[in-house]
Structure 1
Amino acid sequence: MSFFSKKETETKLSGAERPVSSRQLDDLKTRVANTDLPLSVARQVTSEMEHLGKIDPFVAEFSIGVTYVELLLSLPWFKETKDDLDLNRAETIMASHHYGLDAVKTRILEYLAAKSLKNHQKSRILIVDDEEVARNNLHLYFTGMGHTVRVAVNGVDALQQVEENDHFDVMITDLKMDKMDGLTLIDRISKASPETSVIMVTGYATVANAVDAMRKGATHYLSKPVQLDKLKETVEEVLQKQKKLQISQGPVLCFAGPPGTGKTSIGQAVATSLGRKFIRISMGGLRDEAEIRGHRRTYVGAMPGRIISEIKRAGVNNPCIMLDEIDKIGQDFRGDPASVLLEVLDPEQNGSFSDQYLDVPFDLSGVLFIATANDISKLPGPLLDRLEVIDFSSYSLEEKLVIARKYLLPKQVAANGLGESNPQISDKAFEKLIIEYTQESGVRGLTREIGTICRKLALQVIQKNATVLPEIDESSITSLLGPRKYRQEAADGEDRVGVVTSLVWTRFGGGIMFIEALRMQGNTNLILTGSLGEVLRESAQTALSYIRSNAKQLGIDPDFYEHSDIHVHLPAGAVSKDGPSAGLAIGISLISLLTGRPVCRTVSITGEMTLTGYVLPVGGIREKLLAALRSGCTKVVLPAENREDVASLSDDVTGHLELVYVETLDDAIPHLLCAQ
């Protein structure tokens, strides 16, 4: 009896619980019926719903299927935000959030201007029909809609207009015409102008003709008599797809530069100016390609990738997605995420992005992708080829002073509750703060130091019950922050033999490096230390070979290398170094060592050197000049071929430096070696 009683209980529980799953399926069916989905997605949802109706609701597969259908229904397949292409508004927003970066702002405004022109450009329509009344009626109708309309009396006339380099967005053609029928015309147009969409309208509609027209390149096939509203809807659908494709085929911007120069925040400003939702995806340390593309549903705990997940959270299919720190993507046995980004960022492919969890294509062509990077040399070539790099250079001292006073101080005052006390910091105090307490290309460290000052002032307000704070001057900076953290290396040192102030350029901005050379008794060995790369080692060997072959002209004993070893060292051995731009500095260091003449410490130098002593141009001139200013240099020796690069720089970068341009190593010697 207990056996039958147990069975009866199970049956009752089962009967009580099944309606819950039935109601869940009914709710899903209602949502499916009320949700506008692409055809391929609707088919997938229908198939999944049929499968759910056949399986036991108590198995895990049922809940997985329900979650999958709910995701498909919740994605914004057609919902998008309309772009605000007001350039004045965009310029105002960027100016209110960022100081300087004029070249960057100009390029972004150019990008928005191009989108605006594409968005407002009149569409060109070609109407091909041998019936004059029908031809004129369509011409009048579409002209009244604001389109630019041309007409052709037959296929030959239409083909001639297209071949005369006239671009048409849409061609509406009849099937039966004299001289050339519509099918032949479609075939010829698809070869002469592949970007032109063709709509066939005919009174001889058959399945065979429709299939033939579609195979030859027609996008739509309508039978006469055609309703003008239906034709209008078809034309607008075609034009909308073309316009969306044209806009999406613009460049993918990549903001490249040192940390703290405003790359992420100006990306937010772009999204705000366009009126788009902003999504930031950190790519730093990403090693699993499934993080982007998702996991297949067969895996336990499978989820869609981060791009689809963020689009679902945003609720629109055209947000602004920032791929932050794209140069720090990793790679291991789980795949190569950078390869997945090739599909995501390619306008020719991202119209049907395949997330492995979704199993149906999602259109990413409306998404505005912006990438950021510190060092673009770490990006794979195919990925870099899809990006338009916009360089963010280091801030000058004058720019940092304005940013600190206009942006950073008010923000920190508000964050630390000092609005009523209104602390004042003098220009000299700001200058001391920038030079002696920060050493960076951006302003992150400066933001932290200003925040520290504001917190200490907040403590004074509470402890001393002060309502008015005295103005902070240079001496106050020291009392608030302690002794200075950084020194001007070039200005604070002494002139030494064999030690040259060289300018370097890294992903963190510009900097200086002292190249040291010593000679000792040995067997003609060149010793190179400091974690040097192959290019830098070859630069040192090139400089030594030039000096050996021209020793007499340089006033050096020709046998100086006979029983000697020469050791060249670049300090900070834990940091890898490479590149050709230190070749000229190494040459000067060796000449100073062999002649016994000290090198002027406040004169810095950069340039690549050839085996015959000529000087070649180098990159990163702006960052290197700013580094020279920060370190206290008064003169900079540059390659003559970099003169044009310097001419484009502002006075706040070059105005405080004496710039000397040289074509050979011999030209640089009198500017760097001190008089004996």
Structure 2
Amino acid sequence: MRFFSKPEDVAPVPEPTLTMQEELRIAVEKSKLPENVRHIALEELTKLDRTDSSFAEFGLGVTYVELLLSLPWNISSQDNLELEHAVTVLNQEHFGLNGVKQRILEYLASNITCHIKKSTVLVVDDEQISRDNMAYSLNKLSCEVLTASNGLEAVDILEERNVDCIVTDLKMQKMDGLELLNYVQEKWPDTKLIIVTGYATVDNAIGALKKGALHYLPKPINLEILRNAVQEILEQQKQACSVSGPILCFTGPPGTGKTSIGKSVANALSRKFIRLSLAGMRDEAELRGHRRTYVGAMAGRIISELNKCGVNNPVFMLDEIDKIGQDFRGDPASVLLEILDPEQNRHFLDYYLDTPFDLSKVMFITTANMVDNLPAPLRDRMEIIPFSCYTLNEKKQIGLDYLAPRQLRTLGYSQNEIAFTPEAMSTLISGYTRDAGLRSVNREIGNVCRKINLQILQQLKKPPITISSEDIVSLLGYERYTFEAATAQPLIGVTTGLVWSEYGGQLIYIETAKMKGSGRLIMTGSLGEVLKESAQTALSFLRSNATKFSIDENLFEQRDIHVHIPAGDISKDGASAGVTIVMALLSLLTKRPARRDVALTGEFTLSGRILPVGGLREKILAAQQAGVRVILLPERNKKEVQVMNDEVRNAAELHFVSSINEIVEHVLLPSAD
């Protein structure tokens, strides 16, 4: 007897499980990878088919194919092309920095213009029907389409109009397609050309492509193929236009908003933002990746960050580019030459990826404190946008409107419950901070808010609370900084100078002394070679003009002269202290006291000329914070100072000098003898 089971009693046949290679192959086929990348992925999967899954190479191959699939080869975010939106974002998130904002808006405006500009296509064909059909099809690309019946008409149009792409027939009277191609290549090399013809042969195609044609399409023409080819050319033209500008490099003292304004640029364009700090990076493989033959190989940071980001057109900030290291493992700055060059980064090669990745859509922004530390070829590829230090009024306004509300929000308070008076903010800034940026201001505001919060919790105070200048002193203690220059008494051989460093403007005091000796010049204070040479130049000038300044000539042979700059643990160099040194020596040798509330800056030459120097805005504001009343600047810097805003020009009494005699009148007091 035979028993038959019911259909529902039959165990279901399990579906065959796919191998890892089969799953990846299906993913590759479904993905929209570029053709060359798709070919590489399929080749790697073919190798995996012949590799045992227990081998380490199998896992490495799977990881590599998964990276190829996950990278944003063709995925871009949509840009916000409204200039008013960019203006609003920059003004909402940053106060001041008008010159920086203006330059950024100019940069964004050029990119916006490239995207919104309507492209122009010229169709050249001696057959009316063919010409009209191609023009009708190309009109669907939202571009302006012009037509011409032969090459000569096309040349006349090109003389008057800007044309992005030309679609031309090969055989025409008066001027055929190849003659037109040669003429266009010679006079308008940026205009791309597509040849269509009913006489398509291999020789003709090879000849046209060799002469510069991008495509060679036979008749009867497939209008969809033609439209796709023209669309690709126009998109490439717009992309090339938008990335042709220089890479922006934000440079200035710490805390002046370089990184945060980079985020604002990303917000203005509605792009994703990536920040990569290069400080201390020594191995170039961190940027370019390792070859897959190495154990533990991985892609470089550029490709890895783009993979995490998910789009190929973010705003990519390379922070602290001037602090890159260099040793036996390579020079990362050399890799940046390729990354930041629009002509090269279209084919950026990561060693792990081992196939070019197009970085031309990425908007790179770099930051540095001192661009002088950058290699010259790298600096040449970037446009330097300086970030100046903030004035006292700007710091006060930013503290009241931005920093204080932000600190209060972190503690759960509103401005109605705790508020700073303008006088309190001025006391905090002038008495407890000295940096060019806002980090110290933000830190001290946070200290005040936390102390107030503790007093509220201890029921010592109750909101609403208004913080006054007296409250600042009682909460933070005695003022750490005073107007030292304004209160200092005149001394013989001591002068006040202004210098500029990567941290902004600073005051220095040149101290000199003479003693019995043999005419030596002693320099101390951790000084660089340029500064030592400035001191030697100043001494030689005074020796050669001893009679003019009523200096005993025998003094130079019978005395040693010591020049010292305090803060000996800090390295100092530069030529802008030359004027300060020569006045300190002149005060010492003539026994005339020097005013401490008069600050000097300028390079001094052996012939007595005063040469211009840089960093004047930072120097003037540093002098203002120290209470300097008079600032002497080189005459040749006068035009630069005149374009600064009123607050900087009125920070102190400015005098422009061109000779040593003018300086003597302002700095040296009559001798007490």
Q: Into which bin does the TM-score normalised by the smaller protein fall? A: over 0.9
1:588 aligns with 2:570: no
Q: Is the 8 A contact 2:417 2:465 kept in 1?
A: no
Q: Deviations over 1:184-221 (max 9, x none)?
A: 43344333322111111111122332222222211112
Distance 1:374 1:21, change over 3 A: farther
**Aligned equivalents of 1:367 and 1:454: distance in 2?**
40
User: What SS is found at the alignment partner of 2:496?
Assistant: strand
Q: Is the 8 A contact 2:25 2:42 kept in 1?
A: no
The more displaced of 199-208 and 509-518 is 199-208
Q: What is the 5 A alignment of 1:401-550?
A: 401-419=396-414, 422-464=417-459, 466-550=461-545
- Paired letter, 1:578: D
1:74 aligns with 2:33: no
- Paired letter, 1:77: W
Q: What is the 5 A alignment of 1:651-662?
A: 651-662=646-657
The equivalent of 1:328 in structure 2 is 323
Task: Report how many aligned residue pairs link the two structures.
Answer: 657
Cα offset, 1:166, TM superposition: 5.1
The equivalent of 1:337 in structure 2 is 332
User: What SS is found at the alignment partner of 2:417?
Assistant: coil
The equivalent of 1:241 in structure 2 is 236
1:117 to 113, 117, 125: 113
1:664 to 632, 653, 659: 659
Cα offset, 1:458, TM superposition: 1.1
1:363 to 358, 372, 377: 358
1:393 aligns with 2:388: yes
**Aligned equivalents of 1:148 and 1:560: distance in 2?**
85
**Aligned equivalents of 2:64 and 2:206: distance in 1?**
35
1:252 to 240, 247, 253: 247
**Aligned equivalents of 2:25 and 2:132: distance in 1?**
48
Q: Which runs of 5+ in 1 are unaligned?
A: 1-18
The more displaced of 254-263 and 611-620 is 611-620
Q: Deviations over 1:82-120 (max 9, x none)?
A: 110211111111111111000011111111111111111
**Aligned equivalents of 1:354 and 1:273: distance in 2?**
30
User: What SS is found at the alignment partner of 1:371?
Assistant: strand
- Paired letter, 2:424: A
The equivalent of 1:579 in structure 2 is 574
Q: Deviations over 1:253-280 (max 9, x none)?
A: 1110000000000100000110000000
2:598 to 578, 595, 603: 603
**Aligned equivalents of 2:99 and 2:160: distance in 1?**
35
Cα offset, 1:667, TM superposition: 1.1
Q: Is the 8 A contact 1:418 1:458 kept in 2?
A: no
1:100 aligns with 2:91: no
1:147 aligns with 2:143: yes
**Aligned equivalents of 1:89 and 1:508: distance in 2?**
33
Distance 1:24 1:145, change over 3 A: closer
Q: Deviations over 1:567-605 (max 9, x none)?
A: 111112222222111111111111111111111111101
1:319 aligns with 2:324: no
Q: Is the 8 A contact 1:421 1:467 kept in 2?
A: no
Cα offset, 1:622, TM superposition: 0.2
Q: Is the 8 A contact 2:137 2:227 kept in 1?
A: no
Q: What is the 5 A alignment of 1:156-175?
A: 156-159=152-155, 162=158, 164=159, 167-175=162-170
- Paired letter, 1:424: A
Cα offset, 1:142, TM superposition: 4.4
Cα offset, 1:140, TM superposition: 5.9
**Aligned equivalents of 1:424 and 1:132: distance in 2?**
77
Cα offset, 1:351, TM superposition: 0.7
Superposition CA RMSD, Å: 1.9
The equivalent of 1:33 in structure 2 is 29
Q: Deviations over 1:444-474 (max 9, x none)?
A: 0111111111111111111117432542222
The equivalent of 2:265 in structure 1 is 270
- Paired letter, 1:637: L
**Aligned equivalents of 2:17 and 2:515: distance in 1?**
87
2:122 to 99, 113, 126: 126
Q: Is the 8 A contact 2:315 2:364 kept in 1?
A: yes
Distance 1:401 1:172, change over 3 A: same
1:279 to 264, 274, 278: 274
User: What SS is found at the alignment partner of 1:268?
Assistant: helix
User: What SS is found at the alignment partner of 1:399?
Assistant: helix
Distance 1:420 1:632, change over 3 A: closer
The equivalent of 1:295 in structure 2 is 290
**Normalised TM-score (structure 1):** 0.94
**Aligned equivalents of 1:523 and 1:639: distance in 2?**
34
2:205 to 210, 217, 221: 210
2:375 to 345, 355, 380: 380
**Aligned equivalents of 1:303 and 1:191: distance in 2?**
46
- Paired letter, 1:497: I
**Aligned equivalents of 2:16 and 2:224: distance in 1?**
46
Cα offset, 1:335, TM superposition: 0.6
**Aligned equivalents of 1:226 and 1:261: distance in 2?**
59
The equivalent of 1:63 in structure 2 is 59
Identity of aligned residues (%): 50
**Normalised TM-score (structure 2):** 0.94
Q: Is the 8 A contact 1:587 1:665 kept in 2?
A: no
The equivalent of 1:8 in structure 2 is none
Q: Is the 8 A contact 1:413 1:422 kept in 2?
A: no
The more displaced of 412-421 and 311-320 is 412-421
1:643 aligns with 2:665: no
**Aligned equivalents of 2:187 and 2:88: distance in 1?**
45
- Paired letter, 1:481: L
2:555 to 557, 560, 575: 560
**Aligned equivalents of 2:552 and 2:157: distance in 1?**
80
Q: Deviations over 1:424-456 (max 9, x none)?
A: 222222111111111100010111111111111
The equivalent of 1:23 in structure 2 is 19
The more displaced of 393-402 and 563-572 is 563-572
Q: Is the 8 A contact 2:284 2:332 kept in 1?
A: yes
- Paired letter, 1:289: E
**Aligned equivalents of 1:573 and 1:190: distance in 2?**
64
Q: Deviations over 1:454-509 (max 9, x none)?
A: 11111111111743254222221122112222233312322111111000000110
The equivalent of 2:6 in structure 1 is none
